[in-house]
A and B are shown apart, each in its own frame.
Chain A
Amino acid sequence: MSNSRLPAELLDHIADLLHDERHALGNCCLVSKSWISRTRKHLFARIVFQNEAELESWKNTFPDPSTSPAHYATTLDVACSSVVTAADAEAGGWIRGFSRVVRLEVGNRLCEDETKISLVPLHGLSPVVKSLCMYSNGLPPPRTFDLALSFPLLEDLTVVSYFGPLAGDNDSSDRPAVQPLNSPAFTGSLKLSRGGVKRTARQLVSLPGGIHFRKLSLTQFYKNDLSLITGLVEGCSHTLESLDVEHSFGTTVQYLRPC
């Protein structure tokens, strides 16, 4: 196969057609060196670290970050953010291998005390991040927001906070010393839910560069958040095409842990 007369574009197309056939891709990856890259970009397109065991498995399989397939990942789901950032600190910037991630999802499935979790290791993880999803039990808003601001090309932002406002909402313990000069474009979609509505909306409307979302989806908010949502709508007045709102007043909202 390494001496195949088939044009490279055709081989790429074959691998692309097999993008959701992991077993077939695994076999293709063994065909020859020339097939490794074109199959790995599908095999490692989405990397999920659900827990410490999965993280350890990755590190054992790919001990050298410089040769790991991390740079093939376009989506990185860090469901155990505390474990990943701790591992990154130990290995001296191990997470930076995921330098081509376009979509980053950050959560805390281990239900650890989020006031102690630092997201600084994830700041600017990849310069091409366009979509950031944060699933939090109570992460202090400045940390969420600082992470979002560290991606200059960010278009889509999702913040789901399972708890309402917390005492740590004014926390600024790991706020970076230097704020970025330019805030992200914020030209895609904004999804806020539950506690994330108030926390994130307040910060977004105060951005000096403004916000330019085309789609707003705001769920499980309270009546006294309506003025904040109006502020978001006004902030996106020249770009907003779609508005999706779901209120909680009149009902009791139960903030549930995701795990």
Chain B
Amino acid sequence: MLNTALVRPFNICVRANYSLLPQGESGSASLDISGASKLRDVTFRINSSRVEWVTVALQTITPKSRDLRQISIYLPCYLTAVGTDVRKRFGDQVVGEWLDLDRLLVRFWESHSIRPIFARPDGEEWEEGDCIGSLLPETTRRGIVDLVC
């Protein structure tokens, strides 16, 4: 059975397919920040490879949040490894969640000129060929993401 959610990055309205989510993971336990009309910056700190909750939370942001300027995401160390086959390492389900996030971040850039910030917790420099390029192919290809240490 397919799970669907309404994606509302400002004036864009599309249907996202969450069929990759396992049973029981897509329930009502999600973060809704649609009411925060004065939100300027939002930061997500990820402790696992799963990012569905981040995407779902970002989808709730509406055009009312006109002040939003910054989206920051802190990654666990193992998501910054170099030369990893992400599908082999994390599985299709996890990669699918990242691709959903990738598409959403592209839409945030297009609709609101927000460049997401991805930060490494270990303070090391980002390297070419690390996981993030495979997990966020479109945002990295278009150079609309800031990778910081």
Chain A residues whose CB sits within 8 angstroms of the CB of B47 once the complex forms: 246-248, 250-251
Interface string of B64-96 (1 = CB under 8 A from A): 000100000010000000000000000000000
Q: In angstroms, how far is the closest chain B Cβ from the Cβ of A130?
A: 21
Instruction: Flag whether B149 is at the interface (Cβ < 8 A).
Output: no
A221 to chain B, nearest CB (A): 10
Decide yes or no whether B30 CB sits under 8 A from chain A: yes
Question: What residues of A have a CB within 8 angstroms of the CB of B45 in the complex?
Answer: 219, 244-247
> In which size bucket is the chain A interface?
20 to 34
A237 touches B28 (CB 8 A): no
Q: Are B43 and A244 in contact (CB under 8 A)?
A: yes
Residues of A within 8 A of B74 (CB): 246
Q: Nearest Cβ distance between residue B12 and chain A, in whole angstroms?
A: 22
A203 at the B interface (CB under 8 A): no
Contact with A along B26-51 (1 / 0, CB 8 A): 00111111011111111111111110
Q: A233-B36, A237-B37 are in contact. Are A245 and B43 (CB under 8 A)?
A: yes
Q: Measured between C-beta atoms, what is the minimum distance from B39 to chain A in Å? A: 6
Q: Which residues does chain B contribute within 8 Å of A229, judged by CB atoms?
A: 31
Which of these, A227, A243, A249, contacts B28 with CB under 8 Å? A227
Asked if A190 lies at the interface with its beta carbon under 8 angstroms from chain B, I say: no
A234 at the interface (CB under 8 A from B): yes
Q: Contact at A224–B33, with CB atoms within 8 Å?
A: no
Q: Who on chain B is nearest to A239 by CB?
A: B38
Complex CA–CA separation, A237 to B32 (angstroms):
11
State whether A251 and B28 are in contact (beta carbons under 8 Å apart), knowing that A237-B35, A239-B38 are contacts in the complex: no
Taken together as a complex, chains A and B put the C-alpha atoms of A244 and B42 apart, in Å, by 6
Q: Is the CB of B48 within 8 A of A241?
A: no
Q: Which chain B positions have C-beta within 8 A of A24?
A: none
Is A238 close to B, CB under 8 A?
A: yes
CA distance A130 to B44 in the complex (A): 27
* Interface hits, B105-149 → A, CB 8 Å: none
Report yes or no: B36 in contact with A223, Cβ–Cβ below 8 A: no
B10: interface (CB < 8 Å): no
Q: Does A226 belong to the interface (CB within 8 Å)?
A: yes
B18 within 8 A of A: no
Residue contact A226 to B35, C-beta cutoff 8 Å: no
Inter-chain contact A242/B30, CB cutoff 8 Å: no
Report, nearest first, the 3 A-B pairs whose CB atoms are least far apart: A250-B48, A246-B45, A237-B35
Give 20 new A-B contacts, CB below 8 A, not counting A238-B38, A240-B39, A244-B42: A224-B29, A226-B29, A226-B30, A230-B33, A233-B33, A241-B41, A241-B67, A242-B39, A242-B43, A243-B36, A245-B42, A245-B45, A245-B57, A246-B44, A246-B74, A247-B46, A247-B53, A249-B48, A250-B49, A251-B48
Q: Which residues of B contact A (CB under 8 A)?
A: 28-33, 35-50, 53, 57, 67, 74
Task: Pick 22 A–B contacts, CB within 8 A, sort by A.
Answer: A226-B29, A227-B28, A230-B30, A230-B31, A233-B32, A233-B35, A234-B32, A234-B35, A237-B36, A238-B37, A240-B36, A241-B40, A242-B39, A242-B41, A243-B39, A244-B42, A245-B43, A245-B44, A245-B45, A246-B44, A246-B46, A250-B49
